[in-house]
């Protein structure tokens, strides 16, 4: 069932207008009972993007400081954490996401590991009607 969920998420993001790697969907307001998103909570600002690595080629994801997030593949298999448990240790950083079969070298300063999800809790400034901590970085 995981591929079905990923396909539905990808198609939903595309229908919303997120068709290029630079078009990240940000929930500007905190979630409420009307939000149709599995396991979302009401204290978090979310941002997400489906990465199409076959067409987008290698993609750099620049994560802002103090985010919690992850990258996963199209079968929802974990790739890497973003934030305190990730290689950026919560300071923010650049993550190079490579397409399947990539044979080149990974440039210095990047973490290689693709679905992106980052979130900002109230501790980093999230509040109703604000995505300020996320917006400048995506």
d(CA 79, CA 18): 22
CATH number reported for the structural domain that contains residue 100 in this entry = 2.60.40
Report d(CA 138, CA 132) in Å as an integer: 11
What domain range is 83 assigned to?
2-137
- Rg of the chain in Å (alpha carbons): 15
What is the reported pTM?
0.69
Run of H or E including 69: strand 68-72
Total domain count for the chain?
A: 1
Q: What is the tens place of the pLDDT at every residue in 9-40?
A: 788 888 888 888 778 888 777 777 777 777 77
Q: Do residues 104 and 78 touch, judged by C-beta distance below 8 A?
A: no
What is the per-residue pLDDT across 91-125, written as a single tens digit (0 to 9) for each?
988 888 888 777 888 777 665 545 556 566 555 55
């Amino acid at each position: 069932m995981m591929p079905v969920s990923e396909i539905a998420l990808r198609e939903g993001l595309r229908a919303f207008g997120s068709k290029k790697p630079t078009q990240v969907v940000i929930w500007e307001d905190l979630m409420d009972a009307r939000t149709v998103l599995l396991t979302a909570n009401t204290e978090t600002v979310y941002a997400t993007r489906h990465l199409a690595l076959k067409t987008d080629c290698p993609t750099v994801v620049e994560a802002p400081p103090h985010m919690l997030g992850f990258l996963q593949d199209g079968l929802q298999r974990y790739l890497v954490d973003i934030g305190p448990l990730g290689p950026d240790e919560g300071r923010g950083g650049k993550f190079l996401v490579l397409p399947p079969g990539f044979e080149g070298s990974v440039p210095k300063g990047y973490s290689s590991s693709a679905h992106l999800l980052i979130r900002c809790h109230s501790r980093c400034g999230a509040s109703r009607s604000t995505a300020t901590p996320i917006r400048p970085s995506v």
